[in-house]
Structure 1
Amino acid sequence: MAPVPPSDHDVVEKQLKDIIQDLYQTMVQVHSYDPSSSKPSDEVLKYTVDLIEDHLCKLYDSVTPTSSGPGRKVTLPDVPPELIAYVDGGRNPDIYTREFVEVARRNNQLVKGKMEAFGSMRDTLAREMERGVGELRGDVERVLEGTGGRKS
């Protein structure tokens, strides 16, 4: 998935800051809530919760993918849950990325080795089949051509 353009990122960041501010205001309202008082604290709390809902809806609308064009919406990149757990554990995400790249490189080398080994086996099998069963030469050549093999 492509990175979020800076202007879209700024919009989402501001919306998230608004939501955090609303949550803080809700915390203050809940802490000072007094059901026995004649103050309109329940109205203020209701207004704050409604404000959170509005800001969450705006955030959802701005990050929900739609068709491109005028009024296109932001698509946030997917963050793997493993990375979130790694950062929650107090570890550096750069180290996670480095380890991930190293594992991917190692796996790519392993798969490349397997592909080369199977290719070599395919070529050897084709060569031996042509020697042993000459009438299959056309079929063997067709299979080699279809699988990217080289005839020797």
Structure 2
Amino acid sequence: MASNELANKLEDTTQSLYDLALVIYNLEDTTPPDTIPENISTLVSHLRALPKIANKANEPISQDVLDYVEQGRNPDVYARQFSELVQKDNQYVHGKFLAMEEFQQTLAEEIASAYPNLRKDVDEILAQGSKQGDAS
């Protein structure tokens, strides 16, 4: 809840900055003299409220994300790159897992054909492996 409030206050602060920039950019002789001070006052009040709300927010932010933002980069890009990296690593590990399963099956077949008297033991070992695989 505090994070939603913080996000809303950050949006308000950003909007205040935008409004102030717009007023300054479009400044004319006909602009009321109190327009800029009012916008500055609104901005200051939003900025003053941020630390109070931020202290309520109790969600940790990764130092990597903070560094990314400090470098002027978009944290959404960081999240996307992180997700892609996790997906890539997951596919790699899954490929290794499948290769090991295939190797296990091939090895079991070769042992069973080379040593027919061990067929029962090989089948038991394969059965134990499949039970452990089902449990995880």
SS in 2 for 1:148: helix
Instruction: Report the equivalent of 2:51.
Output: 20
TM-score (norm 2): 0.55
Distance 2:121 2:59 in 1: 48
Instruction: Report the equivalent of 1:35.
Output: none
Distance 1:84 1:119 in 2: 41
Distance 1:134 1:105 in 2: 42
Report 1 or 2 for greater relative contact order, CA contacts < 8 Å, sequence distance ≥ 6: 2
Taking only aligned residues, the RMSD between alpha carbons, in angstroms, comes to 3.1
Instruction: Report the equivalent of 1:27.
Output: none
* 2:110 paired with 1:79: no
TM-score (norm 1): 0.50
Q: Which amino acid is 1:86 matched to?
A: Y
Instruction: Give how far 1:18 is off.
Output: 5.3
1:3-152, aligned counterparts within 5 Å?
6=1, 8-9=2-3, 20=51, 59=55, 76-148=58-130
Task: Note closer, same or farther for the CA distance 1:19–1:12 as it changes in structure 2 (3 Å cut).
Answer: closer
Q: Tell me how many residue pairs correspond in the alignment.
A: 93
Distance 1:95 1:11 in 2: 24
Any gaps of 5 or more consecutive residues in structure 2? 10-47, 132-136
Any gaps of 5 or more consecutive residues in structure 1? 1-5, 22-58, 64-75
Task: Note closer, same or farther for the CA distance 1:105–1:145 as it changes in structure 2 (3 Å cut).
Answer: same
Task: Note closer, same or farther for the CA distance 1:90–1:11 as it changes in structure 2 (3 Å cut).
Answer: closer
Instruction: Report the equivalent of 1:44.
Output: none
